[in-house]
Chain A
Amino acid sequence: MRSLAGWIAAAIMLSAVAFFLGGYYNDVYRKLLLWIALALGYNFLFGISGQVAFSHFAFYGIGAYAVVIFLFHVGLPLPLALILGIVVCALIALAVAIPSTRLEGFYLALATLALAQLFIVVLNEGGTITGGTGGIVDYRLPPIFGLRIVGPWYTVVIVVLVLATYAVLWRLDRSWFGRACRAVRDNPEAAAAMGVNVARTKVIAFTLTSVLAGIAGMAYAFVDNTVNPPIFGLENAFLLLFMVIIGGAGRHAGAIVGAVALYLLPFVLSPLIGHHHALVFGVLMVAAILIQPRGLIGIYDRLRRP
């Protein structure tokens, strides 16, 4: 998508779909869109910057909880709550990224895995602030300029959010920063020799994508109008990694294909194997790495150019 008209056309088409869907399918559609936003961000972090992190989904949760807590426990107006939510995500991301990206290897993976575990503990033990194991329920998106955004119109908000996420990451990928990220992923020593500040590039990529995940989480908070600890567990952090790898890491289209495929797969599989679709995801993940490292999008490329 190279022109503004293209982006607007995409926004209108994706939004129009929402008005033809009923309540249930609107819900499915919104969550699918949010998964696409998460996968795009995670693809930038993992596929393009080469950082293995398990905190992306936790930041989705941090964003969701932060906006709800700021709005309904602290009583701030919506714009302020959104800005403070972003600030919280950015500060936590910096606190994790600065120490762990100083070293090579997989310390970031471990630090973020521990962060994701700790986040769930904090949610469960947080008392009245986080609502404990039951989470926070019974709230509504406050009116914006006197308007209540409900039904398909909220789906439109999410469509705009997904496209904005895509636009930011797409622009960034094509800028010097995107090239620096790829250089750091492929060969940190060579990148440093070329004048790229390796540690700073990693920290910026981690913080930026974590904040994007947090913003998606803020939108999610008003999809179900409830936030609780099980939603933000480690299962989904793994699922996100699997989506990007099975779809094709390092490609925006791959992230989108992977998110759509793995989000819709349980709907197909659950009549056959019940709740054990994660087993299928694990097998697909191993198979993808062994047989098709370029993912589903790599298969598509091969079919198109025989």
Chain B
Amino acid sequence: MRDFLELSISAAASGCIYGLIALAYLLMIRPTGIINFAVGEWAMVGAFGGFLLLGRIELPYPVGMAAVLGIMLLVGWATERIAVRPLVERGAPLLAPILALLGMLVVFRESISLGFGPDPHQVPEPFGFEHQKTYMIVATLIVFAGVWLFFERTTTGKAFEAVSLNRKAAALMGINLPQVTAFSFAGGAGIAGLAGLLVAPNISAHYLMGVPLAIQGFTALVIGGVGRVEGALLGGLLLAFAEQLTVRYAPLPAGYAQGVPLLLLMLFLLVRPTGLLRARA
């Protein structure tokens, strides 16, 4: 029983990370339709920001965290400016920015590998090792509550929803589309970077950590459905539990846990392509 409790906490913590990555995808997909595979690399950049500001310069945790968030907002905004906006303005097909972002993914990864080398780096945790998982869960819940309130209670959030429902109509109603796109990328990068900062003490900052996170986050999104913010968290938790239970109870080498997202992805695409939670009408 105690064993199961520990497994649950550990799965919930991983599930929160997947949920945050899924939320970052969702923030960008809803208004723009763009699937940005570089979110995993953003998480990696966030983790390395944590290593640099908290591990090496040893800033106080809240200051360092705020600085990482600020940097990530800037990174997201700059990414949108470089790889998305010129293509959207030109009226290029949706595939073009998605491919440009794949190029950016490689640019991010190789820049970090060039700057920090191929070795993993330790990132400190704010409340000590034993409380890290609780901290991850609480921080994630705060982010989700914030994003949920943003969409449900603020005018800007409503504007985002309007854009995701009908771009042309939203533009005719006076909503500034480029601004919404820029915000969604900055916000996505902020949330993905936070996920990287939260997960980094457990798995260390490493330049190859991005792609697995990108896959797990997207699987979480497919499970939960792109329609609702809560879906991202639900999908993340389900995926993490499936992974941890497989590793714990199935007679397979631990590496095969990486196969769980693929199987779940396939299963959901076949059985329930809209995800568990449907968008509200």
Contact = CB atoms under 8 A, between A and B. Distances in A.
Interface of A: 50, 52, 96, 99-100, 102-103, 105-107, 109-111, 113-115, 117-118, 121-122, 124-125, 234, 238, 241-242, 245, 276, 278-279, 281-286, 289-290, 293
Nearest to B266: A99
Interface stretch (B93-101, B142-150, B168-176, B242-250): B93-101
| A interface secondary structure, majority | helix
A33 B86 CA distance: 36
Given A52-B95, A117-B211, A276-B114, A282 B100 contact: no
Contact of A114 (B92, B106, B262): B262
Contacts of A111: 262, 265-266, 269
Interface string B241-281: 00000000000010110110110011001100100000000
A100 B258 contact: no
Nearest to A98: B270
Nearest to B254: A125
Interface of B: 35, 37, 82-83, 86-87, 92, 95-96, 98-100, 102-107, 109-111, 113-114, 211-212, 214-215, 218-219, 222, 253, 255-256, 258-259, 261-262, 265-266, 269-270, 273
Nearest to A186: B93
A110 B265 contact: yes
A289 B111 contact: no
Given A99-B270, A283-B107, A293-B96, A118 B258 contact: yes
5 contacts: A111-B269, A118-B259, A281-B106, A285-B100, A293-B92
Contacts of A281: 106
Nearest to B98: A106
A47 to B, nearest CB: 11
Contacts of B110: 276, 278-279, 282
Given A115-B262, A118-B262, 13 more contacts: A99-B266, A107-B222, A111-B266, A121-B255, A124-B255, A238-B106, A278-B106, A283-B103, A285-B100, A286-B103, A289-B83, A289-B99, A289-B103
A241 B98 CA distance: 13
Given A117-B211, A286-B83, A293-B92, A279 B100 contact: no
A114 B219 contact: yes
A105 B269 CA distance: 12
Given A111-B265, A114-B261, A282-B107, A290 B86 contact: yes
Nearest to A285: B103
A229 to B, nearest CB: 11
Contact of A279 (B107, B211, B215): B107
Contacts of B259: 118, 121-122
B104 A286 contact: yes
Nearest to A278: B110
A122 to B, nearest CB: 8
A282 B107 CA distance: 5
